[in-house]
């Protein structure tokens, strides 16, 4: 079994590509009963490029993911409303590697069920659009609302959490791993002020696990260093969705004013407020009988204030974008004091530009370069890790007073955009370490898309050092070769 499953995707691509390259196009939705219907079937495959430190088996070259996903969406008019429904189903094959990790969770305390954690069958979005007047637009139901324009890290994109359990933060399309919520979303145009007011209200009808970020805490392929094969949420700390410090049944609400400076052409801005729950869990005391340490993961209630700014710089033919999010009294863990609260600021500045590299790299069109700096500042915090006031995240790693990440994305189009190369770099400028992600994607005819990618992690603060793992230190031994095969219909 092991030898036969290692190289499925390269073999498929090797057969399909020579037959189909050069025939491009787009897929039109089919009309069924007055609804436009389309979707895709997608296969995700990845292989380990390292031996995993937590196991005693040769993991290098093993198939670590064989995930099949089907998505179907339908849109159509029903009376005065425009109705949209998006359903998704995902199935994880238990590869030899996942079997070994799941068996290890039983040996280390509490067996996890990986398929129960990773399989999916859901009505992902279901909402209606209404235009009661020419100034008011309403979207009611389960949906996604995007605030902000950051890559990899979230500043003002705070309405939803993300499911990072099946591929961590590496999936490029945010809509695939953002978790939709049931919302009343009302937009009111105010042309006199060259702006628009957006009002959001979440009544609290969603399941608890739809709030906040979902991480691999059950010991699977994307658990942090030291926890692969260890069911943290089943053995040590359960997740408590209904806690006095953060109850997912409580409503979330806020507003966003977005506009443009009329006298300065091309400058857009927004002002935002949102009352919600933190995207990352914090350990709080609990009386739950399944919490052996009397602690549970809780998504605490917080308020977020912030804004965004974007515009065009003619001198360098580039677009800039900036975001600032301020959270007063954001909770953090402290091993001496339990939970402490610190004002927290998240700032992003990005620059997007076009590069003419046709004569240098032989591209068929202009390339795009996106650069971003992202900083988190925790006020009233000591950087001395021996200080009892040092704050930590829920996974035990220390949080620096200032943490800065740098990202760069270079996209290279070939053969009239039918072959797209991309190079992504994410670097932790505070703790060291990062990830390099080269990839290439083929558009094959109207229906097929195939992507090959390498996920290569380096450096970072590792377990055993003071303060535990840093973000990229936790990915030690997690290098992957990844292939995604999509059939669009």
What Rg value do the Cα atoms of the chain yield, rounded?
23
Return the structure tokens found at 189: 């145009």
Q: How many residues does the chain have?
A: 489
Question: Which residues fall within 8 angstroms of residue 402, CB to CB, at 6 or more apart?
Answer: 375, 376, 377, 378, 430
pLDDT of residue 465: 58
Evaluate if residue 244 carries a pLDDT over 50.
yes
Alpha carbons 158 and 242: distance in angstroms, whole number: 20
- Torsion, CA 136, CA 139, CA 144, CA 149, rounded to 10: -10
pLDDT of residue 27: 64
The domain ranges of the chain are 2-488
Q: Tell how many helices (H) and how many strands (E) occur in the chain.
A: 7, 23
Evaluate if residue 54 carries a pLDDT over 50.
yes
Query: What dotted CATH number matches 2-488?
Result: 2.40.160.10
- Work out the pLDDT band at 235, boundaries 50, 70, 90: confident
Evaluate if residue 264 carries a pLDDT over 60.
no
Question: Which residues fall within 8 angstroms of residue 180, CB to CB, at 6 or more apart?
Answer: 124, 125, 142, 143, 144, 160, 210
CB 44 within 8 A of CB 69: yes
pLDDT of residue 385: 52
Per 3-state DSSP, the chain is made up of helix, strand and coil in percentages (nearest 5) of 10, 50, 40
Evaluate if residue 9 carries a pLDDT over 60.
no
Per-residue pLDDT of 423-463, as tens digits, reads 999 999 998 999 999 999 999 999 999 999 999 999 988 76
Find the mean pLDDT for residues 205-212.
96
Evaluate if residue 209 carries a pLDDT over 50.
yes
Helices (H), 153-252: 174-177, 232-235
CB 413 within 8 A of CB 361: no
Q: Give the residue with greater pLDDT, 300 vs 18.
A: 300
Evaluate if residue 413 carries a pLDDT over 60.
yes
> Can you say whether the dihedral through the CA atoms of 137, 203, 181, 273 is positive or negative?
positive
Which residue(s) pair with 486 in the sheet?
Answer: 42, 449
- Work out the pLDDT band at 481, boundaries 50, 70, 90: very high
Alpha carbons 417 and 411: distance in angstroms, whole number: 10
Q: Give the residue with greater pLDDT, 130 vs 227.
A: 130
Alpha carbons 346 and 348: distance in angstroms, whole number: 7
Q: Which of 86-95, 132-141, 390-399 has the lowest mean pLDDT?
A: 390-399
> Can you say whether the dihedral through the CA atoms of 168, 174, 176, 179 is positive or negative?
positive
End-to-end CA distance of the chain: 32
């Amino acid at each position: 079994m092991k030898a036969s499953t290692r190289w499925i995707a390269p073999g498929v691509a090797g057969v399909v590509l020579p037959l189909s390259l050069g025939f491009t196009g787009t897929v039109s939705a089919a009309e069924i009963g007055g609804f436009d219907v389309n979707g895709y079937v997608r296969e995700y495959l990845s292989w380990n490029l390292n031996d995993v430190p937590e196991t005693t088996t040769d993991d290098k070259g093993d198939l670590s993911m064989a995930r099949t996903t089907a998505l179907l969406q339908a849109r159509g008019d029903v009376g005065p409303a425009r109705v949209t429904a998006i359903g998704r189903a995902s199935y994880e094959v238990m590869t030899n590697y996942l079997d070994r990790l799941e068996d290890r969770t039983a040996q280390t305390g509490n067996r996890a069920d990986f398929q129960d954690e990773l399989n999916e069958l859901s009505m992902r979005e279901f909402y209606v659009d209404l235009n009661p007047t020419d100034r008011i637009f309403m979207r009611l139901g389960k949906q996604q609302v995007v605030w902000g324009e950051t890559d990899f890290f979230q500043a003002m994109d705070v309405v939803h959490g993300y499911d990072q359990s099946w591929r961590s933060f590496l999936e490029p399309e945010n809509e695939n791993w953002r978790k939709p919520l049931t919302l009343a979303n009302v937009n009111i145009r105010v042309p006199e002020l060259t702006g628009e007011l957006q009002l959001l209200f979440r009544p609290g009808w969603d399941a608890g696990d739809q709030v906040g970020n979902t991480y691999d805490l059950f010991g699977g392929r994307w658990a942090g260093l030291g926890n692969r094969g260890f069911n943290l949420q089943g053995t040590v700390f359960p997740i408590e969705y209904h806690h006095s410090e953060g109850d997912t049944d409580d409503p979330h609400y806020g507003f966003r004013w977005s506009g443009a400076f009329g006298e300065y052409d091309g400058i857009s801005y927004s002002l935002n407020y949102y009352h919600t729950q933190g995207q990352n869990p914090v350990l709080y005391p609990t009386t739950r009988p399944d919490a052996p340490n009397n602690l549970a993961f809780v998504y605490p209630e917080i308020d977020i204030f912030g804004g965004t700014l974007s515009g065009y710089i003619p001198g360098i033919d580039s677009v800039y974008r900036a975001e600032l999010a301020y959270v007063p009294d954001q909770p953090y863990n402290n091993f001496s004091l339990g939970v402490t609260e610190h004002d927290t600021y998240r700032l992003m500045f990005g620059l997007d530009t076009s590069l003419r590299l046709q004569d240098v790299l032989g591209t068929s069109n202009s390339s795009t370069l996106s650069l971003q700096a992202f900083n988190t500042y925790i006020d009233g915090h000591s950087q001395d890790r021996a200080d009892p006031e040092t704050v930590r995240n829920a996974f035990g790693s220390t949080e620096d007073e200032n943490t800065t990440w740098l990202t760069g994305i270079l996209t290279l189009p070939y053969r009239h955009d039918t072959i797209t190369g991309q190079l992504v770099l994410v670097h932790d400028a505070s703790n060291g370490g990062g990830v390099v992600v080269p990839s290439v994607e083929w558009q094959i005819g109207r229906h097929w898309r195939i992507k090959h990618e390498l996920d290569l992690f380096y450096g970072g603060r590792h377990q055993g050092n003071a303060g535990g793992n840093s973000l990229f230190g936790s990915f030690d031994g997690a290098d992957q070769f990844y292939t995604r095969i999509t059939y669009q219909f």
